[in-house]
Amino acid sequence: MIQQSKIVINNLNFYYQKKQAIRDFSLEIPGNEILAVFGPANSGTTTLLRTLNRLCDLIPGTHMEGEILLDGKNIFAPDISVTELRRKIGMVFDVPTPLPMSIFDNIAYGPRLSGKKTKASLTDDVERALHMAALWDEVKDRLHTPAMRLSGGQQQRLCIARVLALEPEVILLDRPCSALDPVSTAKIEESLKQLKEQFTIIIAPHNVQQAGRIADRVAFMLMGSLIEQGITAEVFENPKDKRTSDYITGRFG
C-alpha cells in the first residue's frame, strides 16, 4: 500500500524581493518521522521552515512559486485558512520565547486563540501538552507563576508544549537547541524521538551531529537548493554528492 506522504514540496522557489532564497526545491516528507534539514548558514533552511507554516507571509515583499501539499492539499490555495494551517503546523523557534504570562496562560494561549474558553478543557489541554513535552513534573506545582522564571531548557520545552496544546499534525523546529546546554538538549532530543509517533517532525538542527542523533531522514541544502536527501545512515555513510560529504566532514561550514 502506497502511503501518501505527509508533506510534498513541488518545485518551490522563494524570493525576498529580488533575492532568491530557495531554488527549485522538491521533496517528499513521510509522516511520523523526524526529518532534519541541514546546511551551512544562509542555505535557506530557516526560510524553508517558514514557508511550511506560511510565516513568510508576514514579511513584506516576498513571493513564491511552486506548491506545498499537506495531505494532498496545496497550503497556498486561496481557500486555505492560514490560521488553521498554523495550528496544524506548529513552530518552535531558535530562541525560547515564553510570552510574558504564566506557564498556564502560555500553553493555553493557542487553544484560547481558537476559541476554547472553559477552564476544564483548557486545563486538560495544558496538562496533556506538558506531559508530552516532559515538563509536567517540573512545573505542575507552579502553573500560574510567570513563565519567564523558568530556565532556558525549561522555557524551550514550554514552547514545545505550547505547540502541542493545539494538537498539530506537524511540528517545525528551527535550531531549537542552539541556545541550550547539552543536558537540556538531550532532554529535548529524547522528547522528539517519542513525539514522532504521533506527529511529523521537521527540524533544522544547529549542527550536523544532532541530525545524526535523532533524524530518520535528512535533507542537505546549499544556497537554497536541495543537494541530497534520504535515510540518515545512508546519506551520512555514503553521500552521493561531494558537497554533502565535504560539509558533513567539516571541510566547509
Partner 1 sequence: MKVSSRTAQKAAKILIWASALLVIVILLAIVIFILIKGVPEISWQFLTEIPRNMGRDGGISSTIVGTLLVTAVAVIIATPFGVGTAFYLTEYTREGKVTRIIRFSAESLSGIPSIVYGLFGFIFFVMYLKLGWSILSGGLTLAVMILPTIIRTSEEAIRTVSYQYREVSFSLGGTKWQTITRAVFPSAIRGIAVGVILGIGRCVAETAAVILTAGSALRMPGSIFSPTRTMAEHFYILAREGISMEKAYGTAALLIILIFIINVVANMLVNRFVAKGR
Q: Cβ(161)–Cβ(107) under 8 Å?
A: yes
DSSP 109-160: HHHHHTT---HHHHHHHHHHHHHHTT-HHHHTT-TTSBGGGS-HHHHHHHHH
User: 178: Cβ–Cβ under 8 A, 6 or more apart, which residues?
Assistant: 94, 95, 206
Give the shortest CB-131-to-partner 1 separation in angstroms. Answer: 19
What phi and psi, each to the nearest 5 degrees, are found at residue 201?
-120, 130
CB of 88 to partner 1, least distance (A): 9
Considering the complex, state which of residue 70 and residue 91 has its C-beta at the smaller distance from partner 1: 91
Question: CA-to-CA distance for 139 and 158, rounded, in angstroms?
Answer: 10
CB of 135 to partner 1, least distance (A): 17
Q: Which is nearer to partner 1, 95 or 231 (CB)?
A: 95
Nearest approach in angstroms of CB 147 to partner 1 is 12
Residue whose CB is less far from partner 1, 12 or 171: 171
CA distances from 172 to 31, 86, 158 (A): 13, 11, 15
CB of 247 to partner 1, least distance (A): 29
Closest among 112, 28, 133, 125 to 70, alpha carbons compared:
28
Q: Edge-to-edge strand order for the sheet containing 225-231? A: 89-92, 170-174, 200-204, 34-38, 217-222, 225-231
Cα–Cα distance for residue pair 129/103, rounded to 1 Å: 12
CB of 241: closest distance to partner 1 in angstroms? 33
Residue 82 Cβ, how far from partner 1 at the closest point, in Å? Answer: 8
Judged by the rule CB under 8 A, the positions of this chain that interact with partner 1 are 53, 55, 58, 60, 83-84, 86-87, 90-91, 93, 95, 97, 99-101, 109-110, 112-114, 159, 162-163, 166
C-alpha cell at 69: 501539499
Exposed / middle / buried, residue 85 (Cβ in 10 Å: 0-12, 13-18, 19+): middle
